[in-house]
Amino acid sequence: PIRFTSNGGRQPALRSVKTCPGHENDALVVMPDSTSDENICMPGETTMNMHTKISRDLPNDLTIQLDLKKLEPFPMKVPCLNGIGSCPYDICSMILDMQDSICPVLPDSQPCSCPLLAGDMMLSGLKVPVPDMGILGELMEGAYEATATFYSAAEPDTALGCVLLEFS
């Protein structure tokens, strides 16, 4: 496995998960106590604690556009190759594919499927897979950040939420 490294040779960890500036009134907002303190290894998994406030039921075609940006030695967008990297991801399919890790951390009020229902949702100990990025693996070593924009596949220009993930 490739271990991401940052300045000083230490492994980065997902230190900050927060709502993107300007998206504080979106349908999905990440609360300040969302974090992860695990080092990231590829391939592997990382554990996240995600606290969200969902103001209205989210659609059955909920999609995330993940934009990964490598920060050093110069800023570079990580491309989407074979569905890995800066790509759109179908959240409802992911929930179905990852039921063993997602269902146990969902609140009792949320079925283990879409739509994601309005309300407070605290996902403690959510295990998220970090896929092998193949030829991109070597490029991913170093510091980076990610932005995840949530939207309905039927209305891709309308953001339902935006999450900024900062690695240190």
% of the chain beyond a pLDDT of 70: 69
**Banded model confidence at residue 116, pLDDT cuts 50, 70, 90:** very high
* pLDDT higher than 80, residue 143: no
Closest CA to 124 of 35, 27, 6: 35
pLDDT of residue 41: 58
Higher-scoring residue by pLDDT: 142, 100: 100
**What single-letter amino acid sits at 39?**
N
Q: pLDDT, tens digit, for every residue of 18-53?
A: 899 999 999 999 987 665 545 555 566 667 677 899
Residue 55 makes CB contacts below 8 A (sequence gap 6+) with: 27, 28, 29, 118
Closest CA to 56 of 120, 122, 118: 118
Residue 147 has pLDDT above 90, yes or no: yes
> Which tokens is 34 given?
């969302």
Confidence of residue 117 (pLDDT cuts 50, 70, 90): very high
Task: pLDDT band for 68, please (50, 70, 90 cuts).
Answer: confident
> What pLDDT does residue 165 have?
82
pTM confidence score: 0.80
| Backbone angles phi and psi of 15, in degrees to 5 | -95, -20
* Residue 167: predicted pLDDT: 67
- How does pLDDT run across 122-140, given as a tens digit for each residue? 877 677 666 665 555 555 5
